[in-house]
């Protein structure tokens, strides 16, 4: 992609985007390595062994790779997630209604993107126990086989102790699964697991980096290319998940996207570039998934140490997005959003800042200072303009981006932000 980007030469693969996001959410769970990647791997092995079709194998991969997206959202869910992987899985935590909440919220977050619709349903019920057949339904709704596959895959993914040879642990893990047969896990899925578990290669792949190649090839020949519209829609979904972690940034990414698009339009960028900058806006803070929620939501000043952690996020945005072939320009626009024209920004200290990145930088500042944060209320128009003007005078941001557009852009953008916020709010209740 370059300045002449057209919708036809946007060739980004759905599964590359899913994997990139999956790796990003795994940043949040340092206690367990590669949880989402592992669940995707196991779920796809089970789907293959069950002789499900290619579409269902892909669905299992997507569901596994994204199943706990909503468990990353807030402090409560994060604790719950910890419970889910530590105590719940060994049976010492009761199956509370709350445990299903992140499945439900994950479903709500993902269901609007058509290629995720089925995986979203699997995710919705991924903590439903088989409960001797009662788990065919949950609160009157049919629970699909894919949810029971995910249920067992989730469990298998967390059981190996990384400090010991996995092959030494196979018998113990198989016994744990057998003990839960019928109670937690659907017998047909356990039977399938037993066949898979015979192979040493299954276990070695589970704990090795090679599984990534395997799941990539399993996604297969039909690796879907997203096209501009698909990429745009997907970025909106991911932006919503990034924002959803904290009530204080509930519409931040979509706000930066909307603001960037408006500025790009006013600066004469092409329709394609305008949409791509919307993608960059939605993904610019993906690296914030590596910042703990208690720091994001902290009411009051951050300590120096905490500030250093927050300031790492554009570095992670770059490293995460750089793994997606075809996304190079979007990545540059997204991950340079804390750079300054005078080279005093972070983390690259770059002076060569393309127009797209300068737009996202202004959009980020504008959106951030106009939204309420734990430690202050959003600024009004006059205060906001004063901040932007000071930053231009300081040599931080591009005055052309702020001023050479029609002066009324802030009003327009604020209307968009308000509409976005209402839409998100409405969607999640
Ligand atoms: Fe979960
Ligand atoms: Fe999980
Ligand atoms: Fe940022």
Token pair for residue 290?
């590596």
Q: Is 232 a member of any domain?
A: yes
Token pair for residue 341?
């024209």
> What is the DSSP secondary-structure string of 398-426?
-HHHHHSS-TTHHHHHHHHHHHHHHHHHH
- Ligand 2 centroid – CA 127 distance (Å): 9
Residues 171 and 295 in one domain: no
pTM greater than the 0.85 cutoff: yes
- pLDDT exceeds 80 at position 87: no
> What is the DSSP secondary-structure string of 230-287?
HHHHHHHHHHHHHHHT-GGGTTHHHHHHHHHHHHHHHTT--HHHHHHHHHHHHHTTGG
The C-alpha atoms of residue 283 and residue 280 are separated, in whole angstroms, by: 5
Residues 194 and 261 in one domain: no
Residues 210 and 274 in one domain: no
pLDDT at 5: 61
Q: Is 5 a member of any domain?
A: no
Average pLDDT over residues 234-250: 86
The C-alpha atoms of residue 294 and residue 122 are separated, in whole angstroms, by: 30
Q: Is 316 a member of any domain?
A: yes
- pLDDT exceeds 80 at position 403: no
Residues 411 and 327 in one domain: yes
- Which region among 25-29, 75-79, 132-136, 242-246 has the lowest average model confidence (pLDDT)? 75-79
Residues 290 and 208 in one domain: no
Domain end among 172, 194, 224: 224
Give the number of the ligand closest to the Cα of residue 102.
1
Average pLDDT over residues 127-146: 96
Q: Please tell me which residue, 295 or 233, carries the higher pLDDT value.
A: 233
Residues 142 and 176 in one domain: yes
- Ligand 1 centroid – CA 175 distance (Å): 22
Residues 193 and 147 in one domain: yes
Residues 145 and 270 in one domain: no
Residues 170 and 41 in one domain: yes
- pLDDT exceeds 50 at position 92: no
Q: Is 397 a member of any domain?
A: yes
Residues 136 and 183 in one domain: yes
Q: Please tell me which residue, 372 or 222, carries the higher pLDDT value.
A: 372
Distance of CA 319 to the CA centre of its chain: 14
Q: Is 3 a member of any domain?
A: no
- pLDDT exceeds 60 at position 4: no
**How sure is the predictor about 410, in pLDDT bands with cuts at 50, 70 and 90?**
low
Q: Which domain holds residue 349?
A: 228-426
Domain end among 183, 202, 224: 224
pLDDT tens per residue across span 195-231: 999 999 999 999 999 999 999 999 876 567 889 999 9
- Ligand 3 centroid – CA 254 distance (Å): 13
- Ligand 3 centroid – CA 378 distance (Å): 17
Largest interatomic CA distance in the chain: 69
- Ligand 3 centroid – CA 226 distance (Å): 26
pLDDT tens per residue across span 36-63: 999 999 999 999 999 999 999 999 999 9
Domain end among 224, 239, 267: 224
Residues 299 and 422 in one domain: yes
Token pair for residue 313?
């996020």
- Ligand 2 centroid – CA 154 distance (Å): 5
Residues 170 and 319 in one domain: no
Give the number of the ligand closest to the Cα of residue 123.
1
Give the number of the ligand closest to the Cα of residue 126.
1
- pLDDT exceeds 60 at position 294: yes
Q: Is 2 a member of any domain?
A: no
- Ligand 2 centroid – CA 36 distance (Å): 7
User: How many domains does the chain fold into?
Assistant: 2
Q: Is 420 a member of any domain?
A: yes
Query: What is the domain-level CATH number for residue 97?
Result: 1.10.3210.10
Q: Is 281 a member of any domain?
A: yes
């Amino acid at each position: 992609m370059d300045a002449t980007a057209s919708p036809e030469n946007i060739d980004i693969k759905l599964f590359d985007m899913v994997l990139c996001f999956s790796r990003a959410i795994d940043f949040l769970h340092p206690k367990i390595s590669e949880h989402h990647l592992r669940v995707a791997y196991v779920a796809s092995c089970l789907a293959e062994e069950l002789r499900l079709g290619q579409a269902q194998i892909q669905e299992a991969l997507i569901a596994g790779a994204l199943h706990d997206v909503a468990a990353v959202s807030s402090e409560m869910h994060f604790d719950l997630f910890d419970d889910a992987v530590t105590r719940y899985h060994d049976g010492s935590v009761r199956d509370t209604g709350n445990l299903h909440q992140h499945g439900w919220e994950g479903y709500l977050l993902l269901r609007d993107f058509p290629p995720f619709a089925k995986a979203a349903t699997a995710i919705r019920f991924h903590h439903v126990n088989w409960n001797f057949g009662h788990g065919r339904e949950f609160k009157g709704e049919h629970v699909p086989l894919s949810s029971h596959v995910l249920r067992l895959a989730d469990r298998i993914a967390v059981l190996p102790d990384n400090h010991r040879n996995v092959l030494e642990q196979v018998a113990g893990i198989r016994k744990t699964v057998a003990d839960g047969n019928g109670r937690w896990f659907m017998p047909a899925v356990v039977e399938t697991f037993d066949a898979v578990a015979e192979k040493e290669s299954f276990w070695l792949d589970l704990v090795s980096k090679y599984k990534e190649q395997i799941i990539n090839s399993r996604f297969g020949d039909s690796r879907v290319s997203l096209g501009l519209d698909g990429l745009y829609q997907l970025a909106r979904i991911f932006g919503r998940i990034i924002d959803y972690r904290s009530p204080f940034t509930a519409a931040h990414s979509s706000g930066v996207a909307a603001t960037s698009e408006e500025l790009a339009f006013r600066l004469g960028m092409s329709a394609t570039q305008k949409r791509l900058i919307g993608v960059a806006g939605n993904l610019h803070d993906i690296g914030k998934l590596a910042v703990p929620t208690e720091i994001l939501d902290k009411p009051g000043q951050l300590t120096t140490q905490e500030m250093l952690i927050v300031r790492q996020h554009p570095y992670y945005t770059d490293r995460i997005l750089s793994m997606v072939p075809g996304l190079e320009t979007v990545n540059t626009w997204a991950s340079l959003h804390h750079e300054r024209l005078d080279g005093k920004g972070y983390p690259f200290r770059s002076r060569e800042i393309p127009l797209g990145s300068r737009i996202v930088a202004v959009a980020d500042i504008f959106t951030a200072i106009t939204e309420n944060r734990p430690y202050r209320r959003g600024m009004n128009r006059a205060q906001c303009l004063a901040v932007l003007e000071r930053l231009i005078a300081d040599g931080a941001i591009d005055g052309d981006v702020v001023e050479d557009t029609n002066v009324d852009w802030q009003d327009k953008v604020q209307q968009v932000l308000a509409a976005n916020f209402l839409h998100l709010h409405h969607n999640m209740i």
